[in-house]
Amino acid sequence: MIPTTFPAKEEIARLTARMLLEIKAVNFRPEDPYILSSGKPSPSYIDCRQPISHPRIRSAMMDFLAVTVMRDAGFEAFDNVAGGETAGIPYAAMVAERLALPMTYVRKKPKGHGKGARIEGDMSEGQSVLLVEDLTTDGGSKLNFVDAIRETGATCGHTAVIFYYDIFPKTIPTLAEHGVQLHYLCTWWDVLAEAKAQNAFDTATLAEVEAFLNAPEAWQEARM
């Protein structure tokens, strides 16, 4: 069913943060930092695959993502919804259902046999494609998927995610230089605000996470 209600953007952000905290997708551990894929430490980690196992939460989030895209990009802006391998695939399917659009998915690299395809499903030249993923940090991984979509002759100028880190200043400009606009539900700042409101973590932990969010590179360099 196509969503027809439009909560304010700030309320969507607050409720999304609340849901992520409720299912323990948010992890703060400054005393024993997580190691990111970059090899750098972080006191925070978010698991945006968690919502797929929680029906009420995933349904609410996908409603929010659908209405965010329609409000920000247009009601008839897209012909196809593509999920990025692998975390974006289930979310793309659910958003496509809500927007009443075909769904496809994009491989990280060509399949090593058969047609060697990167696009699975029916995507054709001239289609306007929305790329759906679970989250974005610096935006770099999105460009690989966008390029694969464009190689089919389709266009891709928008990507939608549940969670955007919003602590690396080059993310939005990097995407914009590639002709891509980012749509998202909440950020680390929204999660931190809700965590404080709920007293979800002790004061020292929240203070350390906030220090990281305000100056992530300096925080990481001091611990490497």
Residue 1, domain member (yes or no): no
Residue 168, domain member (yes or no): yes
**Which tokens go with 66?**
């659908």
CB 88 within 8 A of CB 105: yes
pLDDT, residue 115, reads 63
pLDDT above 70 covers a percentage of the chain that reads 97
Residue 188, domain member (yes or no): yes
| CATH number of the domain that residue 68 is part of | 3.40.50.2020
- Give per-residue pLDDT as tens, 174-197: 999 999 999 999 999 999 999 999
The answer on pLDDT for 4 being more than 80 is no
pLDDT, residue 40, reads 86
Q: Where are the beta strands (DSSP E) in the chain?
A: 26-28, 34-35, 41-42, 44-46, 80-84, 103-106, 119-120, 128-136, 155-164, 181-187
Residue 4, domain member (yes or no): no
Structural domain total, the chain = 1
| Domain hosting residue 194, numbered range | 9-219
Residue 170, domain member (yes or no): yes
- Average pLDDT score over residue span 134-153: 92
